[in-house]
A and B are shown apart, each in its own frame.
Chain A
């Protein structure tokens, strides 16, 4: 923690960055996002197992962008997020200084090579309970699986915390907020909830970096991340592409080649 505070202090004092996006103490046992802008505030930075919210979500927030060059305190999955955002042209390589803590020291990831090397050596690892959930759902029959999601979605209140917490859900105007035409029902009835979650999963297929922020954010406990994790697994199998590893990757589901043999897209 001290090395992180020290690094933040150096970066702010040298003017290399204007804001350090990290975690601070929150309510009770919680941590919360913290935006450190002066060297005096660095002592508020914390770093431990509780730091799970994907802070890359703030990189595109107008208020944060206005502050100037950001340093982002990152867990491995956040590094994957930064790479994916670069690949999707939402972030420039030199638009963020990514900080990772390793073996008691802080490393700066500042270019394509350092980001990609770190991501390559730090694959996304699911906690055991997520592995179990994936396995349980995979073993269900189609009917059981449908029933499972029907039950889960029945609790959805369309607060869109899943969307807001997701760093890859950066559309300025989400499909569900469009009403001319109204692609997706904005009502939180059974059909509206299905339409929303299935569309979101499809839109994140092959792009979801599997951070689990959507699931953590869901106030009614829907394991919503399992859908996008599965969608990304399928894209991985079919197209041989994992998100969050290459800054120049072309996302499989949002691109096409003229020489593609499939006719449905033409």
Chain B
């Protein structure tokens, strides 16, 4: 598919987003609440914030919400009636604006994850109804490491449209997918045709600090390495890293209700919790925090690449930024790159 190149002024971008809202679609864009920034549905484009590096939470919940009903049941005497929620719900037409290239790559990984084996009807439907307009990065912070995991500040992976801020309060517009092209065509009046622009000079430079392939190789056989124990001493065992992560997709199925009626829910879960692998017998194969921290790193950088060829990390740095105990994933990976030897 050919990529159409266009430019849009900041003012026209807001007009374009305003029209999207007016058309009845849900627009999710970065909103500020206190010191935090969230993707939130909005009615007024003037409330969109642009001066953020990463939002506090990733846009993962647009595909994979923190809690959702899978089915509900009612019982009347011996009659049990089950309603499959996937047949009931219509996913609303949604536009996500302001995701970063790492976020969009994360959404793609989540989509792929839920497509494996049995395609997940809930996630698929939301994905089909979602158009992703990402904005390239012109700023980064000490937590960013996208270039070390195969992504870049101007990467189009996972986005339907990518905007790159250029001079004179304008954006270079790339329609990446058919979905993106269609949306742009619909609001053609706001966009001007342009020659291909070299994005590089407009993007922030994020130095590549390690090779994820090398990390994956080093992790194979480092299961019993003492590095995990020392590194996880300060981990307090909450689920912040997993919940802030744009890729983490582990979930827990919860049944709530009475013997008359109830719901089956899918809830986010985290490998950092001691309850995560607790067996009914009382045995826990990952009884210590170091085993849980090892699992987190291993899953993302060893098991996932081995099983599906995808990394479980897009280098956004949210896990480390939001960690109450300053567990730093990039630092851990660098340490692995430098130290871990097969044992």
A, B assembled together:
yes
Interface residues of A, Cβ cutoff 8 Å to B: 26-28, 30-35, 53, 57-58, 61-64, 155, 157-161, 163-165, 177, 182, 185-189, 192, 213, 216-217, 219-221
B234/A159 in contact, CB under 8 A? no
* Additional A-B contact list (11), CB under 8 Å, known A182-B256, A221-B56: A32-B326, A53-B325, A155-B33, A157-B57, A157-B243, A158-B66, A158-B239, A185-B256, A187-B67, A219-B324, A220-B56
Q: Name the residue of chain B whose CB is nearest to the CB of A191.
A: B256
A219/B243 in contact, CB under 8 A? yes
- The number of residues on chain B lying at the interface, defined by a beta carbon within 8 Å of a beta carbon of chain A, is 43
B243/A159 in contact, CB under 8 A? yes
Contact among A28, A159, A186 for B252, CB-based, below 8 A:
A186
What's the minimum C-beta distance from B31 to chain A, rounded to whole angstroms?
A: 11
B290 at interface (Cβ–Cβ under 8 A)?
Answer: yes
A62 CA / B234 CA spacing, docked (Å): 12
User: Which residues of B have CB within 8 Å of A63?
Assistant: 229, 232-233, 288-290
Contact among B34, B66, B233 for A157, CB-based, below 8 A:
B66
Using known A-B contacts A158-B66, A160-B273, A165-B324, determine if residue A185 contacts B238 with beta carbons closer than 8 Å: no
A155/B38 in contact, CB under 8 A? yes
User: Which residues of B have CB within 8 Å of A213?
Assistant: 324
A186/B254 in contact, CB under 8 A? yes
What's the minimum C-beta distance from A136 to chain B, rounded to whole angstroms?
A: 14
A161 CA / B240 CA spacing, docked (Å): 6
A32/B234 in contact, CB under 8 A? yes
Can you sample 12 A-B contacts with CB below 8 Å? A27-B143, A158-B239, A159-B238, A159-B242, A161-B240, A185-B254, A188-B66, A189-B265, A192-B67, A213-B324, A217-B238, A217-B324
A217 CA / B290 CA spacing, docked (Å): 20
A27/B326 in contact, CB under 8 A? yes
User: Which residues of B have CB within 8 Å of A161?
Assistant: 236, 238-240, 324
Contact among A30, A159, A219 for B56, CB-based, below 8 A:
A219
Instruction: Tell which of B232, B234, B267 has the most Cβ of chain A within 10 Å.
Output: B234
What's the minimum C-beta distance from A191 to chain B, rounded to whole angstroms?
A: 9
